[in-house]
Chain A
Amino acid sequence: MKYLEKSITEIHEALLNKTVTSEQLIKESLEKSHEIQKKYNAFVTILDNAKPTEVTNELISGIPFGVKDNYSTKNVLSTGSSNTLKDYIPFFTATSIDNLFKKGAVMVNKTVLDEFGMGGTGTTGHTGIVKNPWNPLHMCAGSSAGSACAVATGVYPYATGSDTGDSIRKPAAYCGIVGYKPTYGMISRYGLFPFASSLDHCGVLTRNVEDAAIVVNTMKGKDKNDMTSWDSSGVDLTKTLKNDVTGLKLAYIKELCDIKKYKNADATLKEHLENFQRTLKICKELGMEVEEVSVDEKLLNSIASTYVVISCAEATSNMSNLTGIIFGPREEGKNYVEMIKNYRTKNFSPLIKRRFIIGSYVLQKENKDRYFFNAQRIRRLLVDEWKKIFESFDAVILPVGTGPAPLLEGSKDQIDNSTKALEEHLQVGNFGGFPSITIPNGFINNLPVGVNITGNCYEDEKVLNIAYQLESKMNYKNQIAKENN
């Protein structure tokens, strides 16, 4: 029957017509979870005793979904994929997840991420690496690796993600699905384990744009427990999806998309950029205007460092509560310093430890201006640059990354001098809090690739509208991952 490979509205119809029950969906989803776990290691916890809920007029009622394991879930293990919290069972549920529960959504598993979201490979979680369901020799990317893998394989129609640099939007591209993070503060972050608070966004991974709109519609809302959340009660993300896009204006950045800018471009990059140009052509066929714009290369080349400096600084502070004193496995020590140090040394992965040191360094009094404040200044310049584009354009459209998912073997999650702006530009969406969505736009070497649409703050409806129309002119809507080799 494979109901779970369908869209939310289709499953909802089936539930209403009683051709399937919530119980059957959950059973199917749990069976699939175990199968996917064996093949790709996507889950920290599978909730075998998940209970069906009443089917109501709410689209998501009775339908199973997955939760990234950095969301706090009451009475369900919530680890952040870190050994520091390997036994942590919260007594409260994140606001956005609670919003889904209230409408009858059924959580069936908790998905693997890069430890606390700090990483882009899906390989640093404490339960091991997550493999790409299109080809298990490749990565899913991260940090929402498990969520992307599970949605792509049809475990359920959607899973929540979180996005600090591109942690929803890149794994979505590598797994051939949709990844959407709305404007900063549209979804409450209360209960999301923080990585870098000023960049962290909640969001969702789905197989089509409409599902993304449906799920975020439910997750969003002003929360008294999150001062950065705002009232979006007047916004219905599904309402304007099907609007005509004729006359809307899209910009793409020459310095990122022009193959001539890359001296040693390989065949994959060439194909990726050509494929992007084909997508632009579809946009034009839809009646949109597409123009090339120019952004100072110096700024573009600073994106990655700006991100590293700001995110590491905030992270080192955000994770100072991880001492093993109130929660987490307590360590021994001659005194409290030793006790905390043993806990942190033993339980943090090497990647995180390195990033903490960078974060700490850039905040030191004598370094703060050169590193931290300068990064925050570049953040503003980049955001201003994007906002300037939004004055004349409805959205920015850009390819996601430099191609499809890299191989797991030999991939490194280090800050590398050769990192290209093309690989990291999605981080600007986090700098500015912009609504940003990735949709699949083709295949290279039998692996999916994606395209990203980013708009100005509070213009989520427009971004989703463009993405929906573009999606409808391509052949990748609702695709399910299958190993081709």
Chain B
Amino acid sequence: MKYKALIGIEMHCQITETNTKAFSSAKNSYTIIPNENVRPVDMAFPGTLPVVNKEAVKKSLMASMILNCKQPDYIYFERKNYYYPDLPKGFQITQETKPAPVGICGYLDYYVNDEIKRVRINNIHLEEDSASLDHKNNASTIDYNRAGVPLLELVTYPDFRSAEEAVSFLETMRCIYQYAGISEGDSKKGQIRCDVNVSIMDEDIDETKEENWGTKIEIKNVNSFSAVKDAINYEIQRQIELKETGTYDEMEQQTRRWDDEKQETVYMRSKVDAIDYKYFIEPNIPKFKIKQEWLDEIRGLIPELPNERKEKYISKYELNKKDAETLVKEKNISDFFERCIELGCEAKEASNWITTRLLGYLNKNDLNINDIYMTPEMLTEICLIVKNGKISTQQAKEVFAYVLEERKTPQEIIKEKGFEQNSNEEEIIELVNKILEENEQAVNDYKNGKTNIIGYLVGQVLKASKGKFNPGLTAKILNEEIRKR
């Protein structure tokens, strides 16, 4: 390839794990009932004032630390002024880079396949979400539940060279937000939204010098990771074509948007028409001193992050790398796994169940692990019952499936479906002798020294018992009975 791409990301992620909104004490929670979580300031009634949520600031500072950013001595907020029907105040409370957002000058190491990469973080800041608009035939309706929900925006330098790198970073970040208890990170609920900027330059030019960079094209409102990938690839290709046809130099710096249906980027406006947001410091929020003790306290609260868990799974639980990676990818899954171990399940057992059957089930049915009936307690119980020989591994798989489908506990399923293993010696002796009589030839072979025929005979007995006999006990009894003959 003759060209290389420079890609930067602006990632907006809702802080979902606070009780209240960023500047209002309305409940911060997704609901389908319109205007259910609204305090006066969320609809900008005259005379209302913003009041900063301590927990939202705390979580923002934590994100800032995880991204290796520098935290400010004082926190200020600023107004970004523009008119849109989803913005009740006519401005958004946010943080510009001056005087200081919650974090600047950071970086994050992330993996693309097996390779470690570093992206520099320009800044991360706390702001508020807008209301949501619903478009009908001739009208739009406004729901203010989302208005004021805390939003973290992080801005990277254009350090990504491919869509794959950008998406890997986004996945890593989503994972971090989940692990740190900052956000659920659900793009389906619109909790993550991205703007992407793309420029290309000749392969052999030094990209560390900013003056060599190509014309930056910003793509707004890319709202899923697959769209991020598609938009970047589309835009790179579009720009390459302009280069190839000799019209690249005519392209002005511009903002485009991603059209998900047509799978293309569409021109929105030129840099010249950029909106002047007339930022100024929000006078209703006094500057707030960030004390070192508070920062220390927050640092101490940063939980184990995915990479640390992965290392632990490999070294402590002796899982293979692939399984470890699969488990840590979603915090809910990883938490499920760790809970199983706490309850006494063997790590490898738990990992096998989760990475194969459980994830298979979730993916097939497009479900979240929190939405299913199976709990770590139930899975652990199944493992322990197998270990105690009460049911066979084969039966366990069936119990597992029934628990999910019929929403009943393993004990209930075992009882109802008659999965209990049969260890009644009299019954086993009776069936063993019946089988031995039916297989006269095999008994003779055994007597002639072909002792490995035992396995075949045990299999026949178990089959006849429809899998209900305890295999160990059956083998023992069969050995005893055959010698009597």
Contacts and interface: CB of A to CB of B under 8 A. Distances in A.
Contacts of A78: 46
B88 interface: yes
A190 B40 CA distance: 11
Nearest to A339: B85
B425 to A, nearest CB: 75
B90 A92 contact: no
Interface in A185-216: 189-194, 196-198
A346 B45 CA distance: 20
B402 interface: no
B278 A364 contact: yes
B359 interface: no
B294 interface: no
Interface residues of B, number: 28
Interface in A362-401: 363-365, 368, 372
B283 interface: yes
Interface string A407-433: 000000000000000000000000000
Contacts, number: 95
Interface string B35-51: 00000100111111111
Residue of A72, A321, A363, A364 most packed against chain B (CB within 10 A): A321
B83 A321 contact: no
A363 B280 contact: yes
Interface string A302-325: 000000000001101101110101
B216 interface: no
B283 A190 contact: no
Given A190-B49, A320-B81, A321-B88, A228 B43 contact: no
Interface in A103-133: none
A224 interface: yes
Contacts of A316: 81
Nearest to B90: A320
B34 interface: no
B225 interface: no
A115 to B, nearest CB: 13
Contacts of A320: 81, 83, 89-91
Interface string B68-97: 000000000001010101001111000000
A196 B79 CA distance: 14
A45 interface: no
B286 interface: yes
B278 A360 contact: yes
Chain A contact residues (Cβ within 8 angstroms of B): what range? 35 or more
A306 to B, nearest CB: 15
Contacts of A80: 46
Nearest to B50: A227
A456 B278 CA distance: 32
A323 B46 contact: no
A470 to B, nearest CB: 33
Contacts of B46: 72, 78, 80, 85, 88, 90, 193-194, 321, 327
A50 interface: no
A336 interface: yes
B85 A325 contact: yes
B285 interface: yes
B47 A94 contact: yes
Interface of A: 71-72, 78, 80, 85, 88, 90-92, 94, 189-194, 196-198, 224-228, 313-314, 316-317, 319-321, 323, 325-327, 336-337, 340, 360, 363-365, 368, 372
CB-CB nearest 5 A-B residue pairs:
A320-B90, A198-B283, A363-B278, A321-B44, A197-B283
Interface of B: 40, 43-52, 79, 81, 83, 85, 88-91, 142, 276, 278-280, 283-286
21 contacts: A71-B47, A78-B46, A85-B46, A88-B46, A90-B45, A90-B46, A189-B47, A191-B47, A192-B47, A194-B46, A197-B283, A227-B51, A317-B280, A321-B90, A323-B83, A326-B44, A326-B45, A337-B83, A363-B278, A365-B276, A365-B278
